[in-house]
Each structure stands twice: as structure tokens, then as C-alpha cells.
Amino acid sequence: MSADHQATLIDGKAVAAQIRAQVAARAAALAERGVRVGLAAVLVGDNPASHTYVRMKRKACAEVGIESFYHALPKDISQAELEALIDSLNARSDVHGILVQLPLPAHLDEQRILSLISLAKDVDGFHPLNIGRLAMKGREPDFLPATPAGVIRLLEAYGAPFTGADAVVLGRSNIVGMPCALLLTKRDCTVTICHSRSRDLPQIVRRADILVAAVGRPHMVQGDWIKPGAFVIDVGTNRISDQSAKDGSRLVGDVDFEAAQRVAGAITPVPGGVGPMTIAMLLENTVTAAERSLQ
Ligand code: NDP
């Protein structure tokens, strides 16, 4: 790499805007056929970050012509009450997608709640059957989880060479790391999954033609871990203090962006990379669910 090398910036906002425009057109076509696309958002408790995410998702719905039904529930709601709500949303014909904002409070059985969501309305793709199908050769889930689907779409949009590429995924969570690894495997990458017990991360990451960082540790991935020319997708969203910022803090990823962009071939910024894609993919899944409801 020359001293003044700059990686291509992977513009998640721009790719997401294209997807949202397509979703808006599909929602308008459904409206002409008398179907108003509807997404139910279920939020339990008062976690400020969860409130922010749900607010952003509802605003995005409004912008593309999807109606959102908001269910804000007290943090001490019982398992039975929440299950009854999911049952009622499953039965409603004006609700095409159901989103339960995670994490749920500890007294609730998250897996059971997710498995109660009708497969046809599982627009977050977290139903165990959808995740299971993702892991099976020759099977496809009804819906892909939004963040991992957004990661793949960004790589596609910028021409990442999937077949035979060495891909490294940092993180093995149910909602990001593991489904990303499964999707990259489906795209014929050779995938290495790393986690908190992995040894010698720098050495493993240096092999990556495609790197997905989903750990939640600010700037953990150093510039000299990056293979020259690699595609780097930074899912991490970490708030760090910054006295020069208006509210005294700012968002950074898991990758040291300044250093990595001097080595990588293409890289996502934080914010403006994966975040906008997550919402766009949720909207796309919801309009797909509504179209399928007519078939
Ligand atoms: P989790 O906390 O569920 O998972 C983190 C993963 O990172 C775990 O597998 C953990 O390993 C691994 N890990 C933790 N520390 C290290 C370390 N030092 N070295 C290697 N691996 C480590 O987080 P999520 O998957 O939910 O989220 C990851 C990040 O992505 C967060 O910053 C989150 O805010 C962000 N995010 C962003 C979204 C977006 O739309 N932009 C959407 C969702 C998440 P182990 O399994 O061993 O504990």
C-alpha cells in the first residue's frame, strides 16, 4: 500500500436509501391493492437504547408508508401477558411483521417469546426455525436477521469477492456474529469465527479478505491487524466520551477506523455504515411479509 492509500468508504446510508426507496414503491403498490403494510413493535421496560432503536424504526416505517403499531409494556409484565400479546398480533391481519426489541428483562423467557412469533411475521428472523434453516445446506430461512443481511448487502454492493475468500467474524452472538458467519458460509467463504476465548486475534484477523467485527469493544481491531485490500465491515456501535462533541460523547466502531482505512480496500464508517442497513433490511422484510400474505 502506498503511504497515502485511502480505503473506499462503504456508504451504508446511500445503500440503505436505495433499499428504502424500493420498499416505499412496493408499499405503495400494496396500498393500491388495498393492503396497508403494518409492523408491530413490542418494547418491554425502559432501557433508553431500546427506546431510541424503536423510535428510529417507527420513524423509518412512516417514511416508507408502513404503519407501525407500538406496544410499550411495563418492565414487570408477566410471561403470560407478553405471550398473549404475541398471540393477538399473530392473529391480526393488519400486522404483517412483529418485532420484539431485545434484550427482554431477565424474568422473561426470550427464546420462548421469539419462538411464539408466527414464522410468516418473523421479520427480525430470530425464530429458532429461521436460524436453524440458515445453518442448513439447501434450506433458506423465510427472513434473514436484519443486521447480518445488511452486512452481506453492503459487501455485495461494493463487489466483495465471496467465493473462496477467507472471512473472519469477530463475535458469535445469536443476532449478529453467528448469522453473519452462516451467511458468509452460504456465500462460499471460508469462515473463521472468533470470540472472547479466541487466541491470537491479530494473527487470525490478518488472514481475512473479509472482516466483520461485531464485538462491542471500541477500537479493538488495530490497523496492523488488517490485511491490505481487505473488506472491513464494522458492526460495533460503542459510545465513548469526547469532550469536543456536543453532548460529550460520540459513537465509534470496534475497528480503529483511522488506521484501518490506510490499509483496507473498503471499510464502513461508524456511524453511517451498518446501522442504516439494519433498519432498511427490517423494512424490506416487512414489505416482503405483506406481499406474501396476499399469495
Ligand atoms: P454481544 O455482546 O451479544 O456479543 C459480543 C461477541 O463478541 C461475543 O461473541 C463475545 O464473545 C465477543 N467478544 C467480546 N469481547 C471480545 C474480545 N475481547 N475478543 C474477541 N471477542 C470478544 O454483542 P452483539 O453481537 O449484540 O453486538 C456486537 C456489537 O454490534 C455491539 O457493539 C452492538 O452495539 C453492535 N450492534 C450494532 C448493530 C447495528 O445495527 N449497527 C445491531 C446489533 C448490534 P463470547 O461469545 O465469548 O462472550
Residues 63 and 109 in one domain: yes
One-letter amino acid of 287: V
Which atom of ligand 1 lies at the shortest distance from residue 172's CA?
A: 9
Looking at beta carbons, which pairs linking 81-88 to residues 24 or more positions away fall under 8 Å? 82/42, 82/44, 82/108, 82/113, 83/112, 83/113, 83/116, 85/42, 86/42, 86/113, 86/116, 86/117, 87/116
Q: Which protein residue has the closest C-alpha to ligand 1 atom 47?
A: 196
Identify whether 76 is a catalytic site residue: no
Residues 66 and 168 in one domain: no
* DSSP-derived secondary structure for 65-114: T-EEEEEEE-TT--HHHHHHHHHHHHH-TT--EEEEPSPPPTTS-HHHHH
Residues 261 and 150 in one domain: yes
The pLDDT value given to residue 54:
96
Question: Is the beta carbon of 171 within 6 A of some atom in ligand 1?
Answer: yes
Range of the structural domain that residue 58 is part of:
34-118
Specify if 196 maps to a domain.
yes
Specify if 59 maps to a domain.
yes
Residues 242 and 161 in one domain: yes
Specify if 13 maps to a domain.
no
Residues 161 and 264 in one domain: yes
Identify whether 124 is a catalytic site residue: yes
The pLDDT value given to residue 198:
98
Specify if 44 maps to a domain.
yes
Which atom of ligand 1 lies at the shortest distance from residue 177's CA?
A: 25
Interhelix angle for 274-293 vs 146-157, to 10°? 110
To the question of pTM greater than 0.75 for the whole model, the response is yes
> Where residue 52 sits, what CATH number does that domain have?
3.40.50.10860
The pLDDT value given to residue 2:
79
Identify whether 22 is a catalytic site residue: no
> Where residue 203 sits, what CATH number does that domain have?
3.40.50.720
Residues 241 and 172 in one domain: yes
Give a three-class secondary structure readout of 112-153.
HHHHHCCHHHCCCCCCHHHHHHHCCCCCCCCCCCHHHHHHHH
Q: Which residues share a beta bridge with 249?
A: 241
Task: End-to-end CA distance of the chain: give it in Å, rounded.
Answer: 53
Residues 150 and 263 in one domain: yes
| Distance (Å) from CA 208 to ligand 1 centroid | 18
| Domain tally, the chain | 2
Specify if 3 maps to a domain.
no
Selecting among 122, 124, 142, 209, the annotated active-site residue is 124
Residues 81 and 181 in one domain: no
The pLDDT value given to residue 3:
77
Specify if 172 maps to a domain.
yes
- Segment-wise mean pLDDT, segments of 10 residues, the chain, 295 residues: 90 98 98 98 96 96 98 98 98 98 97 97 95 95 97 98 98 97 98 98 98 98 98 97 94 98 98 97 98 96
Residues 108 and 42 in one domain: yes
